[in-house]
Amino acid sequence: MTGWAAFAVAAGLLAAAADGSSAEPFEQTSDERTVLFDGESLEGWTTRGGRYDGAALWTVEDGTLTGRVGENGAGGLIYTTRSYTCFDLSLECRMDHPYDSGVFVRMLPPDSGLKGLQATLDHRPGGEIAAIYADGFLFHNTEAEQYFAKDEWNSVRVRVTGFDPRVQVWINGRPVTDYRLPAGTPGFASRGLVGLQVHGADAEAASRKVQFRDISIVELDVFEDVEFDGADQKKNAGALHRALGGATGGASQARRGAVSEPATSEFTADDVEALTEVARDAGWRDLLAAGLDGWKAIGTEGGYEIAGGVLSIPADGSGHLVTVDDFTDFRLRLDFKIAEMANSGLFLRGARAGGDPAYSGCEIQILDDFNWEERTNSKLAPYQFTGGLYAAVAPGPDKEYRPPGEWNRYEVLVRGSRMAAALNGRLLFDVDTLGLDAKPPFAERAATGFIGLQRYGADSVDGAVSAEVRNMFVQPLAPLAANDAGSQETGSKDGGER
209-231 burial code (b ≥16 CB/10 A, e <16): bbbbbbbbbbbbbbbbbbbbeeb
C-alpha–C-alpha distance, residues 267 and 493, integer Å: 45
Residue that is last in its domain, among 198, 219, 240: 219
C-alpha–C-alpha distance, residues 307 and 304, integer Å: 10
Mark whether 325 and 424 lie in a shared domain: yes
Question: What is the pLDDT, as a whole number, of residue 204?
Answer: 76
Domain limits for position 190 = 29-219
The answer to whether position 247 is within a domain reads: no
**How far is residue 101 from each of residues 79, 129, 451, measured CA to CA in Å?**
13, 9, 46
**How far is residue 367 from each of residues 251, 392, 471, measured CA to CA in Å?**
37, 16, 19
Using DSSP, state whether 177 is helix, strand or coil. Answer: strand
The answer to whether position 494 is within a domain reads: no
The answer to whether position 242 is within a domain reads: no
The answer to whether position 50 is within a domain reads: yes
Taking only the tens place, the pLDDT of each residue in 167-184 is 999 999 999 999 999 999
C-alpha–C-alpha distance, residues 421 and 334, integer Å: 11
**How far is residue 284 from each of residues 74, 226, 295, 389, measured CA to CA in Å?**
49, 9, 17, 24
| Structural domains in the chain (count) | 2
Mark whether 194 and 323 lie in a shared domain: no
Are 107 and 84 in contact, with CB atoms under 8 Å apart? no
CATH number (domain holding residue 324)? 2.60.120.560
Mark whether 113 and 87 lie in a shared domain: yes
Taking only the tens place, the pLDDT of each residue in 386-440 is 999 999 999 999 999 999 999 999 999 999 999 999 999 999 999 999 999 999 9
* Residues contacting residue 440 through CB under 8 Å, at least 6 positions apart: 359
Using DSSP, state whether 432 is helix, strand or coil. Answer: strand
Mark whether 444 and 369 lie in a shared domain: yes
Mark whether 16 and 34 lie in a shared domain: no
Q: At residue 237, what are phi and psi to the nearest 5 degrees?
A: -85, -20
Question: What is the pLDDT, as a whole number, of residue 17?
Answer: 32
The answer to whether position 252 is within a domain reads: no
| H-run or E-run covering 254 | helix 251-256
Neighbours of 244 (CB within 10 A): 18
Question: What is the pLDDT, as a whole number, of residue 229?
Answer: 60
The answer to whether position 355 is within a domain reads: yes
Mark whether 313 and 411 lie in a shared domain: yes
The answer to whether position 263 is within a domain reads: no
Kind of pairing between the strands at 318-323 and 450-456: antiparallel
Neighbours of 252 (CB within 10 A): 10
Mark whether 360 and 468 lie in a shared domain: yes
Mark whether 310 and 293 lie in a shared domain: yes
Burial of 18 (0-12, 13-18, 19+ CB in 10 A): exposed
Question: What is the pLDDT, as a whole number, of residue 19?
Answer: 34
Question: What is the pLDDT, as a whole number, of residue 201?
Answer: 87
138-157 burial code (b ≥16 CB/10 A, e <16): bbebeebbeebeeeeebebb
Kind of pairing between the strands at 343-350 and 450-456: antiparallel
Which ranges of the chain have pLDDT less than 50? 1-31, 231-269, 486-495
Question: What is the pLDDT, as a whole number, of residue 497?
Answer: 61
Mark whether 160 and 41 lie in a shared domain: yes
Positive or negative, the Cα torsion across 2, 8, 9, 14?
A: negative
**How far is residue 15 from each of residues 185, 362, 382, 419, measured CA to CA in Å?**
25, 19, 8, 18
The answer to whether position 497 is within a domain reads: no
DSSP letters, 263-305, are: ------TT---EE-HHHHHTT-EETTTTTTTTEEEEES-TT-E
C-alpha–C-alpha distance, residues 302 and 308, integer Å: 19
Mark whether 201 and 53 lie in a shared domain: yes
Residue that is last in its domain, among 176, 204, 219: 219
Mark whether 174 and 278 lie in a shared domain: no
Is the preceding peptide bond at 440 cis, omega within 30 degrees of 0? yes
Mark whether 383 and 447 lie in a shared domain: yes
The pTM assigned to this predicted structure is 0.85
Taking only the tens place, the pLDDT of each residue in 82-119 is 999 999 999 999 999 999 999 999 999 999 999 999 99
C-alpha–C-alpha distance, residues 461 and 302, integer Å: 18
